[in-house]
Structure 1
């Protein structure tokens, strides 16, 4: 310092040379003996001058006798003794997944107290990725700015979150660096519609399952997040839904019965289910519900024709009734067989498909059995089987197949001679096993009389009740005995008759 001021070292002591600082703090010390300026304590350029491009420490060299001072300025040169430091150790960015490439997301710049080439020169990302780069440049104001630049569209469904480091490097030798951890949260955009795990679901339900029974559950997934990934289920209105027998849980997709199903009414129900996310995107799947038959229907027997009364002279094989059997159940539950309890006079004969004929198998006799109660039982092959019975009351109509029968093989009647004319001498009686006109008996004298027997025209027979009268007075000495043949005839067509001999 003495040399720069052109002062002999001897004057420095004689004139009491000393350093005077404007701020009172002295960073240097003046050695009067040698005239040298030496550092009084450790100098920190960043503490003294901050980020100023030039760091100058001014002070005065003051001498007395005579008073004289010199302006002294010491320029403090920077060394690379500070590493870059980011304001935050961890930074989080929330970015929409459909942000356009080239979008810039400002990042707080790192701070390096050094200047010039020792200050921050570059930023980089580690590890490098295809989605982001870092930009570092001057703004219009001249201030350096740092930001993340989106190079490629994000896809939350592929990467919901990303982590990497941003490194700031200065230009010192050797260089120093600082890092901050960057956490990227990709915000969802509703760019995915729900997707069902199956295009078509199939369920099977017994027709007697009670209300509230679970049929099946549908499931759709949506890779979006938040409300965009929240799925609700409902029956689609795109197809008319007449199946009020079903309800669906809007949150779980569980389909339940609201009432028992009926296999006989519908064997299959087709439903369309729509899954809708919170953003309004939706998908539709088909649900087929197959109703399994339960043996809940007894066979039905429908009579097409029935003949009653039936003439007793009907030939074996005569058709009495024609009927059909059916069962609304399916499989073994709908397979019907028929059986007949009385197989002595009647039998069942298959006609066509599920038609049966009730036919006679032997001769009928009204006089023996005037009415037959025939019971047909139709049973299905379910377990346990269900049965239906049909009763046919077959009345047998009369045919004139029985002649009158007298209650005696012959009759003998007596009369005193000299009798009163038209005197009653006896009565005949004949019965007919038939009914109606076929059993109505009338009596008459037969025109055919017994050969070789004495006959008399003196007798008369009441046609209604068979009473026998002697029409005139008889003489024992002239006729002691007489025989006539009396006929009993029914009113059938043709009539049947029987003869009996009446001896007087």
Structure 2
């Protein structure tokens, strides 16, 4: 014992120090002969045979040392003894041996597992070789006798599989599986015994396994038939009848039976039993000791409309009599109708005709009579109905027009009810999709559209979006937009606008000018993607909105290139004297054309003012002798646009009572730009003609002096009233507009050579106008305003004013 303990400690220390380098598993069947090769350990562990020798390889194991040995010369494991799996492991699976191979220098450890597999080397066996029974010849059919079970040491498929019993003249074998996996073996009497015919019966019970080849074990059974008493019990009726309502409670008594036995004593005592071979009947009914038939199970009319119970009366001697009970089951309405769908359509087109079959189904109610009569209906007001083709078979068909746009899906609930009391019903809900048909044309959101775009737009800008919807679905509802062919002012509308086929966005192809075109119409067609396609049209009116892109145009006073126009104001003018009126127009519209006037600059701001709405220039104080003759006014005309545009006009005013005074002051007015630009030319020309100009100017000055003197005398003695002059056809209602309401023609006629000739003006532009033309070399002339012939004179006052207009043209030389 001491030596063994030391060896164990030594190996434990080896295991703790050595490293486990590998593990190999082998599998061998049991009952292999001694010296058989278990496995090539050197090859499987990757070791050289020399290493096994040098390392003094040896096996260490706590079990199986007597079965396995190591051959270091061959590098294999060999069987030392034959292995019996059943004695080694019994019923344990898997059955394995665990070994360790130890090497030294260096120390290494390898684990080896050897699994022992089962072979069919054991046959089933019984504990006893024979079994004896003593059975009365009056034993009832179905009597059970428990037999001994066989035992097989093998496992799995090689284990015990089945039993057989021969002969089967009087007895049959019954095998019943149990929870622990074993089988209960019983011998059942299926034919009556008769001692007078056969007093001893010999039977052979055989147990077989599932191996190959198959093995078996047997036991002999001896039956001794005992004699019985002479009188058997007798039932009072050969057939008993009873009735019970289905679903009755357990413990309900159906009826009572009775049997009598002429024997006395123990042989005359009768017991009752259910002798039927149908297990279901014995599970449902039982008979008490006094003959009462009692319900112990459940009765279902749908499973069995009646039951036949075979009963037996037996005395203590084994004699018996049989009878039967016919039990009628009374139906109650305890089953709902069962709806079975035979065929159905998940989707139908919306243009399906009336009577299209949607679903075919059957209805079954296992109850009887009225309890099994079924009526089906549809819940809800939907265009479907149910028709009956034959008993228990129904069809769900269309019964109205379908419109996917009103209802794209129907949840159809079919309810079937029986006629029982109370009635039971079942329902099934069917989902039906209505597939689309292209039966709806696109509909625009409006009957017509008005689109607005500001002039001077960028070409390609999106202006407006038309939108049409189609009540159909998918491709049938996919709307495309098309610009219909038309023309605007003889030009195709496609050169004005374009439309996106998918989105309906209208784009401007060109830049619009409100002053050229204010609006135009075109038509857009919306077409769906159905086959054939459906379409609708809508009219779009494109309105061009004005933009303040034009400055005001000053119509009066006219700004001449080389002449200086001056309005004459007498020094006797009172406060509010109308000097002149600035007349301007703006080709824009709306507030972009609302004009306002403002005095920007003035020689004397305290003397004049400008009406902000009408453009009238009036005096705001009394003219005095101290006021300068030459007054320059800069009037700015602004429109009401955002941002506003403006124009500036220079108004020259002469504050004088006589023309010579005006001439002396206005001779200093600067010449026009063209004249200054050509100053060099004039200087060169002046060198050549200086003599001629000197003489000419001398003559002109003398002539002018004489002419001015004569004119002043005439004006002084005329005493003409000072009446303000309005341009022809001008009407300033309430003095608020400040714009012209008619077209005005201003005509200035000059001689073919303005450098040599006098200036001539056919029509007056103001009551007192001084025109200083430096290019003229003629003498000053006083001209009376000519009488105008008006197509439609506005008023007598206007005619009288026109008659009094005067134009004075003062022409003087270049120097």
Fold shared, TM-score > 0.5 on shorter chain: yes
TM-score, normalising length from structure 1? 0.57
**Shift, 1:190, TM fit:** 5.2
**Shift, 1:264, TM fit:** 1.5
Question: Which residue number in structure 1 is paired with residue 310 of structure 2?
Answer: 272
Question: Which residue number in structure 2 is paired with residue 75 of structure 1?
Answer: none
Equivalent position SS for 1:485: strand
Deviations 1:262-283 (A, max 9, x none): 1222222222111123333221
Which stretch shifts more, 467-476 or 433-442?
A: 467-476
Question: Which residue number in structure 1 is paired with residue 373 of structure 2?
Answer: 335
Q: How does 1:85-484 map to 2 (within 5 A)?
A: 191-236=230-275, 239-243=277-281, 244-249=283-288, 251-413=289-451, 419-447=457-485, 449=486, 455-458=492-495, 459-473=497-511, 482-484=520-522
Equivalent position SS for 2:332: coil
- Contact kept? 2:362, 2:394, Cα under 8 Å: yes
2:454 & 2:324 partners in 1: Cα distance?
113
Note closer, same or farther for the CA distance 1:282–1:426 as it changes in structure 2 (3 Å cut): closer
**Shift, 1:306, TM fit:** 2.6
Question: Which residue number in structure 2 is paired with residue 502 of structure 1?
Answer: 540
- Contact kept? 2:457, 2:511, Cα under 8 Å: yes
Q: CA RMSD in A?
A: 2.7
2:489 & 2:343 partners in 1: Cα distance?
60
- Contact kept? 2:483, 2:494, Cα under 8 Å: no
Equivalent position SS for 1:351: strand
1:452 & 1:341 partners in 2: Cα distance?
64
Deviations 1:194-240 (A, max 9, x none): 22121111211111111111122221123333333322111226x44
Question: Which residue number in structure 2 is paired with residue 134 of structure 1?
Answer: none
2:487 & 2:326 partners in 1: Cα distance?
95
1:415 & 1:191 partners in 2: Cα distance?
127
**Shift, 1:443, TM fit:** 0.9
- Contact kept? 1:446, 1:486, Cα under 8 Å: yes
2:270 & 2:455 partners in 1: Cα distance?
127
2:454 & 2:315 partners in 1: Cα distance?
127
Note closer, same or farther for the CA distance 1:246–1:451 as it changes in structure 2 (3 Å cut): farther
2:329 & 2:462 partners in 1: Cα distance?
88
Note closer, same or farther for the CA distance 1:274–1:453 as it changes in structure 2 (3 Å cut): farther
**Shift, 1:256, TM fit:** 0.8
1:266 & 1:305 partners in 2: Cα distance?
31
**Shift, 1:414, TM fit:** 5.0
Aligned length: 313
**Shift, 1:334, TM fit:** 1.5
**Shift, 1:419, TM fit:** 4.8
1:331 & 1:201 partners in 2: Cα distance?
26
Question: Which residue number in structure 1 is paired with residue 526 of structure 2?
Answer: 488
Note closer, same or farther for the CA distance 1:196–1:488 as it changes in structure 2 (3 Å cut): same
1:453 & 1:226 partners in 2: Cα distance?
136
Note closer, same or farther for the CA distance 1:416–1:330 as it changes in structure 2 (3 Å cut): closer
1:227 & 1:199 partners in 2: Cα distance?
25
Deviations 1:96-147 (A, max 9, x none): xxxxxxxxxxxxxxxxxxxxxxxxxxxxxxxxxxxxxxxxxxxxxxxxxxxx
Larger RCO (CA under 8 A, 6+ residues apart): 1
Equivalent position SS for 2:439: coil
TM-score, normalising length from structure 2? 0.36
Note closer, same or farther for the CA distance 1:420–1:219 as it changes in structure 2 (3 Å cut): same
- Contact kept? 2:487, 2:493, Cα under 8 Å: no
Note closer, same or farther for the CA distance 1:414–1:383 as it changes in structure 2 (3 Å cut): closer
**Shift, 1:435, TM fit:** 2.6
Higher normalized strand content (fraction of residues): 1
2:451 & 2:274 partners in 1: Cα distance?
104
Note closer, same or farther for the CA distance 1:219–1:495 as it changes in structure 2 (3 Å cut): same
Higher normalized helix content (fraction of residues): 2
1:331 & 1:466 partners in 2: Cα distance?
69
Note closer, same or farther for the CA distance 1:422–1:278 as it changes in structure 2 (3 Å cut): closer
Equivalent position SS for 1:314: coil
Question: Which residue number in structure 2 is paired with residue 88 of structure 1?
Answer: none
Note closer, same or farther for the CA distance 1:196–1:476 as it changes in structure 2 (3 Å cut): same
Which stretch shifts more, 226-235 or 381-390?
A: 226-235
- Contact kept? 1:402, 1:496, Cα under 8 Å: yes
1:426 & 1:343 partners in 2: Cα distance?
44
Note closer, same or farther for the CA distance 1:452–1:232 as it changes in structure 2 (3 Å cut): farther
2:278 & 2:468 partners in 1: Cα distance?
82
2:354 & 2:432 partners in 1: Cα distance?
15
